[in-house]
Structure 1
């Protein structure tokens, strides 16, 4: 069994939106903004090779949207999902499972592509099962006005239409994957969006947590640093506090999907609450 970080592409988002009510004078210290107030963001996915099963967690934005659409997000750098897969010796047709933490466009857009003659859409991973959960799927396919711009029909409906959609059982003890070398459990959280799924992967004596949008960057560790995108920010506060206390107690390794400059961090208890402890590259921990 082996894990691989998959860099699906970098982009930028408005720093104020990413930090909500926190003043720029504070968040700009850890996440410096450019002249347009935009900060660096990654779409860092995770690939799990376990026997004949190859599972990809999230897929980034993809490349099917219009030039106008991408103009809002300032793509930068050389990363792409296909290039990153190839660097590790894989092709998208090798993927057996796509696990979607949630269905916002920057997490699932790469799941769907144009068909050959660009008359419609098709799954970008033709041999894969796609995994969501029933509650979140309903939330995404009947979106509220606030999240409607993040739940794009072309990213979501073709998954169901293809027959490749599957739902995860929400039993507390349920494991998405379990083998002699690894446990893959799921934490459900509701502050950012309803029933976002946070993978917890027990591997090589460590607990690696794929943070998705529960913790966007290392700069978001302090409790009040909550994204303006969250639908229930007060609930996010409670969920973050509970998770970060557990992460500090149990020495979790936090895999940051959206931090363009920090791959993995740990946190520690301090007099001011839970704070950043150490930063790691993926290779430092697992290779």
Structure 2
């Protein structure tokens, strides 16, 4: 009695749990970015269900209960809504019949895995009738924000905008630097931040947007002095590693046309060479 009561307190008001004819089976979730998850999922009355919030979180979607009967996964590029007691869901504004209504079971919300895989732009590609193991492939990640923090500042790029936003954590002051990184796709590319400090205290921020398959990358390099931007350079289609700080202590900035040598400390351009 105490166990049932403690579990029921985890559920929204009005939610119902069913233990009869339910069991866990293995779900292998293969994501388009290459990683694989093995998790328990629910087999109930001959239908395999996946955890709505768990898989949604893996896809970098935010989950919430809009009310006691409405569960939502949302991001800038994806929105999935399911309703308690109804087999009709919404995916990106379009109504979809899941075949079965959502199920609350041991404090988790489950929906038919075939529907959930398709809603995450994947599909069910395998099922073992003996073990019940289900394999889904091609699942997308909808991460829409990339950020790093350094010295009391947050550096953030939102995929729908593609510019660098720098926020002073203490004052809340926001500065936006146009970069124009278009069509960020975390399923095929990596976006990473790197910071270096020169011997004369210039800060170099390097942003790499690289194709995981080919290794070709775009390099966005910004030089700051006393937190103010003094130099910016953008180079596309690089294949070799570029060192921002040269052996003589000066800085090299590469763009699509040339390579500039920048004096450490002052930020002055010392020379310009063809790329």
TM-score range, shorter chain: under 0.3
Which has a greater percent of strand? 2
Structure with the bigger RCO (C-alpha within 8 Å, sep 6+) is 1
Q: TM-score, normalised by structure 2?
A: 0.24
Larger Rg, first or second structure (1 or 2): 2
Which has a greater percent of helix? 1
